[in-house]
């Protein structure tokens, strides 16, 4: 046992893990110490790489998108090495499920990180998001049954779950539908701001996808609606009028339908410059936030309840899974 491992062992940390989530819009890293059921964040990073750029249209990753992703992974590899991580897991989601040349991504990741990347199914993604979100929120904010909604770049996952009599999390049903913020933007939202016809096309796509989700998961019956990922956290931050994007403050905050309606209508009137000037807007979300807002608004219209934002999500679920290996 080397010096750093010994210090962690003496401090009661069972394992230090690194979880990487490679999505359609961003790639994210979480390094965490896990002792029993307690997860302590060491480092959390997010880089907008737009890996899924053009995949909905071409079916393949572009060379530019792969280069951006590999550059971020080189950076993450240095962080992982410096922090003396015990276990690493790399998961890829929607865009990687769709791209015909995903082997190019897989080999590049393997070379840089020394692990076999996993292209997980929508169901696996949903379960990891559910676990990360529910276990990361204070118990008084989660009234079971709960549904976790993960609005990503390429897809949106719905997962309904509860706790057993013994207190263990149990996923009851899950579904993944192709209505992510990047996919909707690239497919329909070509104006700045988009016109009524473009907005209607997104709404039609989203409505059809939500009809399919209703058949697979009775998510509207949940007592608690938890939203994860950047679309939800950004819109909740806007609804609360925050002057800066503060994850610790946003975590556990909520926004009701009226607030989401108002923020969405406001975004629909803004051009790119105006959206970029919003104090909580990450530069990588400026181009896709309208697509995400339209998805979230449609979900809340059907749910008839507020959404609670969680800054813990699939990354935290992946980290916890590593501790159990």
In DSSP notation, 174-235 reads EEEES--HHHHHHHH--SSS--HHHHHHHHHHHHHHHHHHHHH--GGG-SEEEEESHHHHHH
Q: Rounding to the nearest 10 degrees, give the CA dihedral for residues 71, 72, 77, 80.
A: 160
Give the architecture (CATH level 2) of 3-119: 2-Layer Sandwich (3.30)
Q: Quote the pLDDT of residue 76.
A: 97
Query: pLDDT tens digit string along 72-85?
Result: 999 999 999 999 99
Q: Quote the pLDDT of residue 13.
A: 57
Residue 281 CA to residue 249 CA, distance in Å, equals 15
Q: Quote the pLDDT of residue 196.
A: 96
Asked if the model's pLDDT at residue 274 lies above 90, the reply is yes
Structure tokens at 43: 């480092």
268 confidence band (pLDDT: 50, 70, 90): very high
Asked if the model's pLDDT at residue 31 lies above 80, the reply is yes
Asked if the model's pLDDT at residue 6 lies above 50, the reply is no
165 confidence band (pLDDT: 50, 70, 90): low
Query: pLDDT tens digit string along 207-248?
Result: 999 999 999 999 988 989 999 989 999 999 999 999 999 999
Question: Would you list the domain boundaries of the chain?
Answer: 3-119, 137-310
Residue 203 CA to residue 119 CA, distance in Å, equals 29
Asked if the model's pLDDT at residue 10 lies above 60, the reply is no
CA distances from 32 to 90, 103, 232 (A): 14, 28, 23
Q: Quote the pLDDT of residue 57.
A: 84
Is 137-310 in the same CATH topology as 3-119?
yes
CATH of 137-310, one of 3.60.130.10, 3.30.420.150, 3.30.830.10, 1.10.630.10: 3.30.420.150
Q: Quote the pLDDT of residue 153.
A: 87
Asked if the model's pLDDT at residue 67 lies above 60, the reply is yes
Q: Quote the pLDDT of residue 62.
A: 92
Q: Quote the pLDDT of residue 2.
A: 52
| Rounded average pLDDT over 33-42 | 90
Q: Quote the pLDDT of residue 141.
A: 87
């Amino acid at each position: 046992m080397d010096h750093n491992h010994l210090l962690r062992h003496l401090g009661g940390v069972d394992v230090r893990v690194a979880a990487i989530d490679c999505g359609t819009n961003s790639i994210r890293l979480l390094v965490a110490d896990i002792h029993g059921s307690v997860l302590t964040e060491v480092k959390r990073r997010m880089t907008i790489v737009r890996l899924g750029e053009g995949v909905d249209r071409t079916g393949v990753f572009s060379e530019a998108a792969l280069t951006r992703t590999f550059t971020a992974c080189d950076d993450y590899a240095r962080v992982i090495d410096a922090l003396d991580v015990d276990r690493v897991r790399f998961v890829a989601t929607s865009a990687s499920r769709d791209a015909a040349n995903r082997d190019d991504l897989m080999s590049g990741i393997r070379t840089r990180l020394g692990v076999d990347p996993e292209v997980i199914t929508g169901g696996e993604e949903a379960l990891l998001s559910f676990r990360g979100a529910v276990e990361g929120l204070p118990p008084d904010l989660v009234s079971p049954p709960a549904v976790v909604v993960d609005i990503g770049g390429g897809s949106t996952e719905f997962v309904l779950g509860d706790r057993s009599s013994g207190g263990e999390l149990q996923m009851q049903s899950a579904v993944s539908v192709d209505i992510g913020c990047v996919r909707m933007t690239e497919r329909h939202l070509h104006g700045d701001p988009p016109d009524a016809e473009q907005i209607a096309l997104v709404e039609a796509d989203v409505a059809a996808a939500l009809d399919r989700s209703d058949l697979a998961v009775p998510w509207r019956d949940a007592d608690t609606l938890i939203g994860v990922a950047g679309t939800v956290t950004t819109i909740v931050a806007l609804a609360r009028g925050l002057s800066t994007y503060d994850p610790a403050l946003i975590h556990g905050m909520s926004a009701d339908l009226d607030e989401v309606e108002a923020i969405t209508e406001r975004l629909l009137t803004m051009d790119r410059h105006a959206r970029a000037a919003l104090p909580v807007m990450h530069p990588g979300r400026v181009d896709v936030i309208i697509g995400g807002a339209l998805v979230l608004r449609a979900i809340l219209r059907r749910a008839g309840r507020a959404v609670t934002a969680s800054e813990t999500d699939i990354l935290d679920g992946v980290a916890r899974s590593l501790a159990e290996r």
